[in-house]
Amino acid sequence: MEMIIAGLLDSITLASLMFLLLGVTIGVMIGAIPGINGPMAIALFIPITYYMTPLAAIGFLVGLNKGAFFGGAVSAVLLRTPGTPEAAATSWDGYPLTQQGKGEKALRMALYSSVAGDLISTVVLIVIAAPLAAIALFMGPAEIFALISLALTVIAGIGTTSISRGLIAAGLGIAMGLIGTEPVTALPRLTFDVYQLGSGLSLIPVAIGLLAFSEILLQLERFAGKGSGVHVTTKFSSKLEDRLLSMKEFFANTKTLLRGSLIGIGVGAMPGLGAPVASFMSYDQAMKRSKHKEEFGKGRLEGIAASESANSSVVAASLIPLFVLGIPGNLAAAMLMGAFMIHGMQPGPLLFKENAQLMYGIYGSLILASLFLLLIGRFGLRFFCKTVNIPALILYPIVMFTCIMGAYLGKSSMFDVGVMLAFGFIGYFMRKFDYSYVAFLIGFILAPEWERALQQVVIISQYDTFMFFQRPVAMVLMGLTLFVVVRTFWGSIHAKRKKKQVEAAAVAAGQHKSD
Amino acid sequence: MFTWAIPIYTPPYPGYGASSALVPNVAVGVMLFMAILSLITIATSIYTNKPLPKEEREFPDDLEDGGGFTQVGRVNLYHLASIMIPCMLLVVAIEHIGYMLASFAFLMILQYVIGSRNWIQSIVLSILLTVVLYIVMRYGFGVPVPGPQISE
């Protein structure tokens, strides 16, 4: 109990509150700019957190991520260009409302739904993470190895249309993650005799290059083709009923909000799915269950509530696998995992045992971040609407130069800037040829832990090949891994066969008609 | 490249635990297996004269139903070079002429390359960004900026 109170008190120190507020504010501003999302913002700002206390750093980054999730809705509603992929479903009903002069009302609905979904999800995280982590403590190296294998297999399917390309990206990420000092012999491995690689590739330059720099390269390419940037007028209706959201309007969507939040929690807690899936799933369910299906897509507040509550509840829920098992469920969680490691902590079940006070401090920060989001969103809505108008010619050089200096800041090394540029280059091609940079990055982060677990299994079992068969949980997890691989390939073969059958049936039906 | 690098740049087996080449070999093995599988799919589709499945096409952006959040498409080498070369030059130049000059020149070139022709705006932004980041790094975080320092 003392630990809980001490942790919560830590989260309300002036420094923690200031960084949290700053994180949420920057997050909303960044999220509102199309093309810049939460994980990218975390990658850009992680170097700054070197100089903060662990709690302030994690609070700042969590606030940044939460803010970016809501920020994505701003450009989705005003421009029909979602600032983040998960806000796409918000634009379907948000933009029509803007066209009707009710943009402010749509944004208020998005804000309140985001905060509600986020709060519900945070409460679930607080209630279940610690007990689950206590159970996870019984897991040995065999289970951890099997679990990481499963996570890598599931995650290989994210961000690409092809599982084979996903696995290639994950394999490349693992190979890159193994560069540096080998844990058993303590000798350099795959360093090509470059002494700076002796301690391995740092996460920060790799993440900035892959997430931010490559994205800016692509944005600039698109921008060069189109000429000038976008401009949006943020003129809203002067009628109060078009601007404000009444209690009645908000509470009419309570069911949708709760359903969206639960969908978001379920999706967020499972590694590999991500916020866009939650948002589309929730929107689909809201439409199917609504009495006014025909109004969806034409400016229905229920659609915004469904999408925003679901995608925002993913933020806290995605921390469940991270805190309980040390497995990042999505890109933002992977970046947060990196931040934990930078501050000397290894996410996983031991986190609650070794850093209990800090964990309760983080819980406090998570709740406060939701409240700050409500306050900042409520009073700064009109200001954030203006951020979507920042000219690209000003924005891109700023982001690009920040990427370069951010990569330098970590170790004060120009070598890291070179690494960042190299991974920006690699990331550009990965995006162009549809190789999942998400799978790459998660493979890169999990590779050392995966290898450590394998080495422990081999040493403890004294080369017993059947070690996994003696551990039921490990066996189940390995079985699941195999199942995921077989099911994915079988699914694609089955889909092709079915398509052929449908095509053949269509051809036969056409011939029958012509006869 | 990895199949060449792993045996050369991996420590010898110490006599206990798993070989340090095991996990890199597994990762590269998966990559090779998947690459060969994709090549077989392409070769089969060419041989049988059937179109490739949509997820295996080289440029899924060309598809009618493409788009959304995938950012696949053809590589614009000219654009890539026009951004990457100034960045690489900055890395080299910063060590020789110092942060201030190199960053100012880099930002001016970058803005020109991406299409800015408003010289006043470019100069103001370049100076502002260079100075603000200098102050943030030097006095905010206590990190010396790269290259020769102003005081030297």
Residues from chain A contacting residue B91 (CB–CB below 8 Å): 414, 417-418, 421
Share of chain A above pLDDT 70, in %: 89
The pLDDT of A356-378, averaged and rounded, is 91
The answer as to whether B132 is a domain residue is yes
Widest Cα–Cα separation across chain B: 71
Residues from chain A contacting residue B115 (CB–CB below 8 Å): 223-224, 227, 393
**Mean pLDDT, all residues of chain B:** 79
Confidence category of residue A159, pLDDT binned at 50, 70, 90: low
Note the pLDDT of residue A232.
Answer: 53
The pLDDT of A40-53, averaged and rounded, is 84
Give B26-42 pLDDT, tens digit per residue: 888 888 998 888 888 78
Q: Which of the residues A48, A451, A461, A497 would you substitute to probe the B interface, choosing the one with the greatest number of B C-beta atoms within 10 Å?
A: A451
Identify which of A170, A304, A327 has the alpha carbon closest to the alpha carbon of residue A250: A304
Note the pLDDT of residue A45.
Answer: 87
CA distance A266 to A132: 15
Note the pLDDT of residue A383.
Answer: 80
Domain co-membership, B15 together with B54? yes
Option in A50, A175, A393 nearest B27 (CB) = A175
CA distance A300 to A456: 55
- Please check whether residue A370 is in contact with residue A66, taking contact to mean a CB–CB distance below 8 angstroms: yes
Give A202-239 pLDDT, tens digit per residue: 888 898 898 889 888 888 887 765 544 445 555 666 67
Residue A28 is encoded by which pair of tokens?
Answer: 């909303």
pLDDT at position B83 over 70: yes
Strand pairing partners for A181? Answer: A188
Residue B102 is encoded by which pair of tokens?
Answer: 């190199």
Numbers of helices and strands, H then E, in chain A: 23, 2
Q: How many CB atoms are located within 10 Å of the residue B95 CB?
A: 13
- Please answer yes or no on whether B54 and A161 come within 8 Å at the CB atom: yes
Note the pLDDT of residue B149.
Answer: 64
Among A245-254, A386-395, A476-485, the minimum mean pLDDT is found in: A386-395
Question: Phi, psi (5° rounding) for residue A118?
Answer: -65, -45
- Please answer yes or no on whether A175 and B28 come within 8 Å at the CB atom: yes
Note the pLDDT of residue A29.
Answer: 87
Q: How far is B91 from chain A, CA to nearest CA, in Å?
A: 7
Place of tokens 């551990």: A471
Note the pLDDT of residue A20.
Answer: 93
Question: Phi, psi (5° rounding) for residue B56?
Answer: -100, 0
Domain co-membership, B83 together with B57? no
Q: What are the sequence ranges of the domains in chain A?
A: 2-237+246-467, 471-515
The answer as to whether B12 is a domain residue is yes
Q: Which of the residues A401, A450, A482 would you substitute to probe the B interface, choosing the one with the greatest number of B C-beta atoms within 10 Å?
A: A401
Confidence category of residue A510, pLDDT binned at 50, 70, 90: low
- Please answer yes or no on whether A405 and B55 come within 8 Å at the CB atom: no
pLDDT at position A355 over 50: yes
Q: How many domains does chain B have?
A: 2
**Mean pLDDT, all residues of chain A:** 83
Strand pairing partners for A440? Answer: none
Confidence category of residue B60, pLDDT binned at 50, 70, 90: very low
Residues from chain B contacting residue A46 (CB–CB below 8 Å): none
Confidence category of residue A129, pLDDT binned at 50, 70, 90: confident
Place of tokens 């000003």: A394
Confidence category of residue A158, pLDDT binned at 50, 70, 90: low
Say whether A246 sits in a helix, a strand or coil.
coil
Q: Which domain holds residue B50?
A: 2-62
Looking at residue A117, its amino acid is G
Note the pLDDT of residue A419.
Answer: 94
Give A47-66 pLDDT, tens digit per residue: 888 888 889 999 999 999 88
Looking at residue A347, its amino acid is P
CA B58, B61, B63, B66 dihedral sign is: positive
Strand pairing partners for A188? Answer: A181
pLDDT at position A457 over 80: yes
Note the pLDDT of residue A234.
Answer: 56
Q: Which of the residues B9, B25, B62 would you substitute to probe the A interface, choosing the one with the greatest number of A C-beta atoms within 10 Å?
A: B9
Domain co-membership, B48 together with B22? yes
Note the pLDDT of residue A182.
Answer: 85
The C-alpha torsion from A230 through A231 and A237 to A242, rounded to 10°, is 30
- Please answer yes or no on whether B56 and A162 come within 8 Å at the CB atom: yes
Distances (CA, A) of B147 to A277, A408, A418: 46, 12, 15
pLDDT at position B62 over 50: no
Confidence category of residue A365, pLDDT binned at 50, 70, 90: very high
Select from B62, B87, B111 the last residue of a domain.
B62
- A451: closest chain B residue by CA: B23
Cβ-based contacts under 8 A for chains A and B = 182
Can you point out the beta strands (E) in A182-272? 188-189
ipTM of the complex: 0.84
- Please answer yes or no on whether A220 and B83 come within 8 Å at the CB atom: yes
The answer as to whether B146 is a domain residue is no
Q: What is the pTM of this model?
A: 0.81
Rg from Cα positions in chain B: 25
Distance spanning both ends of chain B, measured CA to CA: 43
Question: Phi, psi (5° rounding) for residue A437?
Answer: -75, -20
The pLDDT of A82-111, averaged and rounded, is 83
